[in-house]
Structure formats: C-alpha cells, structure tokens
Structure 1
Amino acid sequence: MSVHPYAGDRIGLATIHAKERAVAPPFRRLMDATVVVAPDLDTDKLGTFSGEVPRPDALVETSLMKAELVFRTMDVDCAVASEGSYGPIDRLPLTPGGMEIMAFVDRKRGMRVVETLATHRTNWRLMSFEAGDPSVSKAVKSLGFPDYGVFVISGSSGDHPVKDLTNLDEVVAAVDREARRSADGKALVVADMRAHRNPMRMKVLRALAWKLARRLATLCPKCGAPGFGHLLSRRGLPCEACGDPTHWIDFEIDGCSCCGHAVVRLRNDGRRTAPRLSCKACRNRSVVSSTASGETTGRTG
C-alpha cells in the first residue's frame, strides 16, 4: 500500500474538553497521523453548552472557525475541530436529539472537509426545581450523575451557570441557591454536554471521527488528494408507476475538494424507481379520480 499524504503529520485539534480521546485513534489507525491538542486555546469563546456564551454562527461555520484557531498557536498545515448541538427535536419535543459537526482544514492544499452526524444517543434533559425540592437527587441520578455532569442555572438568568459539580450535596446546594436568587423561584438542572463530562457524547464524537477519517483516507482518483467523498445528493428518483420525479434520492455525487473532480454514484440499495405511494403526482391523480367517482355516484343516485 502507498503511504498516505498525512502519514507522519501532526494535526492540530481545537479542544479543551478532551476530544482527542475520540479523534486521535481513527486518524492514527487509518492515516498514521498524530492528532495533537492545540495549546493555549479557549474554544469556549465560540460558544458554551451552558449558554452564557452564545455561538457566533451556525454549527458548520463555527466548527470551521474553531479549526482555524489552531493555526494561531501551532505550526501545522492541518487542523480539526467539532461543534455540537443538543436539545428537544422540533417535531418530537419530548424526545431529545443532537447534531455533531466535525470540520477538517488543510491550509496547504486549500481544502476544507466537513462531516455531520445526527443522533438520538443522548442523555440531554432540562429539569426545573424549586428550593428544597426533595426529588432533586433522584432526578440528577437519572441523568447518570456523577459519571455524567450537570449544570445548575438560575431560572431567570443564565449568566452564571454552576459547573463541575462532583457530588449530590453540591448539586442540591446549587439548586437551592440558584432557585432562591431567581426571579421565578426556580433553578434549572441541565445535562452537561461537554465531551469530557458526557461519555455518551464522547461515543458519538468517536463515531463521527471515524467517519471523517475514512473520508480523509480516501484519495482522489484524479489528483491523489485526501478527502474524496460525498458532496451532495440529488433527488428525483422516478416513480415506478408514472415515471415522474419523486423526493427520493436518485443518485449521489462524490468529489474532490482540491481539483474538483466528481463522479456520479447510484443508490447503494440498487433501486432505480420509487414506490408509487411516494409520488405526489400519483397521489393527486388518485384524489382526483376518487372525487370524480364520488360525484358520478352522487348524480346517478
């Protein structure tokens, strides 16, 4: 096998939350590259899960900003960073979920690669308590505490979240204190989603890191640059009944971020038509046909 372009390279990682535990193994295994945490970076300046610092932009843009920070403190050509968002799902408000983004920047090649991973694997939850509530300990344990961290936040002001609590007595005391100083008399307990305080999120980041590393390990068949892979999906798979385009994916486009070479890839499942039930045109014709039949029946009755 030929040596990968990143073999032996140092790749800077922007993190203060031990994400190297998730990112380093696949980069080492698949490309023989060493992931090194960038020194003297405060990634919390680009947003915090506890809410006191808002994210400056959308997830993808923020993850790229974070990766670019690496070059301020390290003399490397490549950098990687991740950004995540967790909370209730819009259409299923009682079901939490998350989205993880991992961005890779190769400034020598002028290349940026971003991979994403949506997940339902999370303990994220937000709970509200008044001072003296006897159910705090049991509720916090249900989040996995102390193996999983929690934040305690005043119900009326999120400026000073209480972090890095280590035992139940500290959590109960923080809830009582924050509830009493809150204008609404309540304190919020929120699952800590920082990677080093959330083993489940660390597993999701590990899965995403493998996805990114596999992408980077794939070389462009034309120019040999790393990162050849999925660029976009094109919808419009034809209906099996009428042949009209549907919302189903018809084909994928893989490409190179360096030279622009791209290839069309058919669906992995081999389907070349979409089910009739997925076709808007067929459904509309069925409605029209049913209406017309009903009108005819009404006239003859």
Structure 2
Amino acid sequence: MSEPKKCAATTEPHEHSSLVLKNLQVALLTKHYKAGLIAPALQSIGFDLISTDAFDTDTLGTFAGEVTRQLSPLDCARAKAKLAVSLTGLSIGLGSEGSFGGGPMPGLVNWDEELLLYLDGHSGQEIVAFAAGPVPLAVVASDDLGILQAHMTEQDLQQGWIFTPR
C-alpha cells in the first residue's frame, strides 16, 4: 500500500449544512470491505476515505463467534479507529463494529446494531454514530445442496453467508 498523502482541511458553505470539510483524509481499518459502504456518505461532506487492511480485525472478535470479542462493541470500534490512525499515519480514524442479537424482542426479532466511531487522533475527541434495527436472517439446516441453492437464489445477491457443519 502506498503512503497516504496528508491534506489540510478547508471549509466552505454546503447546500445541506453551513459548513463542510474538504480534502480531509480519514482512515478506516477494515477486513470486510466496509469502505465501499461508508465512503459515499463521507464524500458527500468532503471526507476522503483511506482504507487499510494492514491488521486482521477478526482477531478482535467475529460476529459469527469463531473468535470471541473481548471488548465491548464501543471499545472495539475505538480500538479499530486508533489502529487506523497508527497504521496510516493520518490524524483521523474511523472504527466500525456490528453486533447481532438482543434488541427489543430477543428471540423473536433478529436485531442488528452498528457503531461507527470517528476519532481525532490529535485531540482524542470522538464522535459515535449508532444505528439499530431488525435484520432479515434465516437459518437453513440441510444436507441437500439443492435446498441450500434454492434458498440462496431467493436472497439478495450481495448477502453474506455463514456455513457451519452439523
């Protein structure tokens, strides 16, 4: 990965707000291609997202449970933001962390909670965004490949899958 370039932030009026930052590079540490989901929103306010995968974030825990998360979701997002700053040399880092389960009706509704933490590496100030809501998840238990393929073709093509042996 090439060395990221540092840019000074400038401000100018924006149609949706009184102030927008321009050319501010923000580092995101991700193993799971989240930059493509986050970058468009940040570009709309003048941030340039720089993604790195120089650290295996799965070592902090996986949502499927292969590696147990030892930190709270907030502390995990904070750790990722700090690592993003450290690994890229940029002054602003983002950390993201998602969790499934819990919610207002545990056991009845599948629930997703997502955190995004913005860290100013110089001042230590943080901004935390939180989103939560129901998520369509399904469990299909079968040894029949045809049944699994039929179920998968009914789903969003960008949906990820977790396969576990019985």
**Short-chain TM bin:** 0.7 to 0.9
Asked if 1:127 is matched to 2:127, the reply is: no
Q: CA deviation at 1:146?
A: 4.5
**Percentage of matched positions with identical amino acids:** 21
The code of the aligned residue for 1:127 comes to V
Residue 53 of structure 1: aligned partner: 67
Task: Pick closer, same or farther for the CA change 1:18–1:74 going to 2, 3 Å.
Answer: same
The alpha-carbon deviation at position 136 of structure 1 amounts to: 2.9
* Matched AA of 2:148: V
Equivalent position amino acid for 1:23 in 2? I
User: SS of the residue aligned with 2:140?
Assistant: strand
Q: How much does 1:90 deviate?
A: 6.1
Q: 1:137 aligns with which of 142, 149, 163?
A: 149
TM-score by length of 1: 0.45
Gaps of at least 5 residues in structure 2 are: 1-9, 13-18
Q: Residues of 1 paired with 2:126 and 2:29: CA distance?
A: 15
Whole-Å separation in 2 of the counterparts to 1:137 and 1:8:
45
The structure where strand makes up a greater share of residues is 2
Cross-structure match for 1:171: none
Distance change in 2, residues 1:8/1:133 (3 Å) = closer
- Counterpart selection for 1:34 from 48, 51, 55: 48
CA contact (8 A) 1:87 1:96 kept: yes
Which residue number corresponds to residue 16 of structure 2? Answer: none
CA distance in 2, matches of 1:102, 1:23: 10
CA distances 1:117-158 after superposition (whole Å, capped 9, x unpaired): 1112x23223333x348633333334x16432211112xxxx
Q: Tell me, what secondary structure is at the counterpart of 1:109? A: coil
Give 2:78's aligned amino acid.
L
Contact 2:11 2:20 in 1 (8 A): no
Contact 2:85-2:121 at 8 Å conserved across structures? no
Bigger helix share: 1
Structure-2 separation of matches of 1:34 and 1:11: 6
Q: What is the rounded CA distance, in whole Å, between the counterparts of 2:125 and 2:61 in structure 1?
A: 25
Supply the distance in 2 between the matched residues of 1:119 and 1:77 (Cα, whole angstroms): 32
Residue pairs, 1:141-180, within 5 angstroms:
141-142=153-154, 144=155, 146-154=157-165
- Aligned pair in 2 of structure 1 residues 134, 38: CA closer, same or farther (>3 Å)? closer
Could you tell me how far apart the structure 2 residues matched to 1:146 and 1:2 are? Answer: 40
Structure 1: runs of 5+ lacking an equivalent: 155-186, 188-301
Q: Distance in 2 between matches of 1:92 and 1:56?
A: 22
How far the C-alpha of 1:94 sits from its partner, in A, is 3.1
RMSD across aligned positions (CA): 2.6
Is the Cα contact below 8 Å between 2:11 and 2:21 reproduced in 1? no
**Quick check: 1:75 aligned with 2:86?**
no
1:285 is matched with none
**Residues 16-31 of structure 1 correspond to what in structure 2 (within 5 A)?**
16-30=31-45
| Structure whose CA Rg is larger | 1
